[in-house]
Amino acid sequence: MANILIVDDEPSLLRTVRTMLERQGHSVSEASDGKSALRQFEETPFDLVISDIYMPEMDGVEFLIRLHQLFPRAKIVAMSGGGRLPKDKALRTMSTLGAIDVLEKPFPPRELEEVVRKALER
């Protein structure tokens, strides 16, 4: 299946999403912020990145911009539960910047599965 990187500063969400994706047969790596995710992607390009927006060190917006500068064909799905901006506005911003899909936290496993499937088909 696919090699997927999950980026979020919430350890419980990382574990949950990792478990769901591994059950589908994917290989999954984790990063707790955009800065470490960018380093991982430079070492091992991933088939898909699922990234939160609000994180320390380097947030999801800056991460998406930098990743697309270095790897224009990188596929990113943005996710958010809210923060400085309402989550719908934050997710729309990420779509405008190049995220191929968005997930609004909390999301059911079936929605994650569908978004990942569609993203990998693109």
pLDDT in tens, 7-34: 999 999 999 999 999 999 999 999 999 9
Give pTM, 2 decimals. Answer: 0.90
Q: What domain range includes position 92?
A: 3-121
> Helix or strand or coil: residue 37?
helix
Provide the percentage of residues in the chain whose pLDDT is more than 90. 66
Q: Which residues pair with 102 in a beta bridge?
A: 78
Decide: 55 and 9 in contact? Cβ < 8 Å.
Answer: yes
Q: d(Cα 97, Cα 64) in Å, to the nearest integer?
A: 7
In this prediction, residue 89 carries a pLDDT of 61
Confidence of residue 6 (pLDDT cuts 50, 70, 90): very high
Which CATH number characterizes residue 55's domain? 3.40.50.2300
Tens of pLDDT, residue by residue over 62-74, are 999 999 999 999 9
- pLDDT of 58 > 60? The answer is yes
Count of structural domains, the chain: 1
- Residue 95 or 113, more confident: 113
